[in-house]
Amino acid sequence: MKSPFLVLNTAIADRITEQTGRAVFDDTPENEVFPYITMGALTGRDWSDKFTPGQEVQITVHIWSQYAGKKEVLAIGDEVVQAITKQPPLSLAGFNAVVDELDSHNVIMDIDGFTRHAILTFKYLIEEV
């Protein structure tokens, strides 16, 4: 069985950039101007049957803003959700996403007391082809 993590992570980052015009970073960039988007944790578990290998994967996208209020982080979160859930489904080389959905969307105040942080988790059921 192959891991879909890299293909999925890349497809999501590319889709967000293509649809929103916003750069997506693999890690928190040093000295980056707010707002910005980073890719977060990936978790997976086996979802194979006796005919097809597969995984259930959860992937997290983070949005960071220092706008005084939630308006900016909420607007960018909406852009990201629309970009990822837009048709056609994500193209995943070597894999087929059987199910893709927004699993959770949280907005919190960061520990620094002024950075807003949106955490979007998407769930995929992915078969290897």
Tens of pLDDT, residues 37-64: 999 999 999 988 888 899 999 999 999 9
Q: What is the pLDDT of residue 71?
A: 97
Instruction: Find the mean pLDDT for residues 99-121.
Output: 95
| Pairing of β 36-46 and β 95-109 | unpaired
Q: What is the pLDDT of residue 98?
A: 84
How many domains, in total, are found in the chain?
A: 1
Ramachandran assignment for 100, one of left (phi > 0), alpha (psi -120 to 50 degrees), beta (any other):
beta
Print the domain residue range for 79: 5-128
CATH number at residue 92: 3.30.2000.30
pLDDT band at 21 (very low <50, low <70, confident <90, very high): very high
Instruction: Find the mean pLDDT for residues 110-116.
Output: 95
In sequence order, what are the beta bridge partners of 38?
Answer: 25, 62
- Name 71's Cβ contacts closer than 8 Å, sequence gap at least 6: none
Instruction: Find the mean pLDDT for residues 102-123.
Output: 96
What tokens does 106 get? 């949280």
Q: Tens digit of pLDDT for each residue in 70-108? A: 999 999 999 999 999 988 889 899 999 988 899 999 999
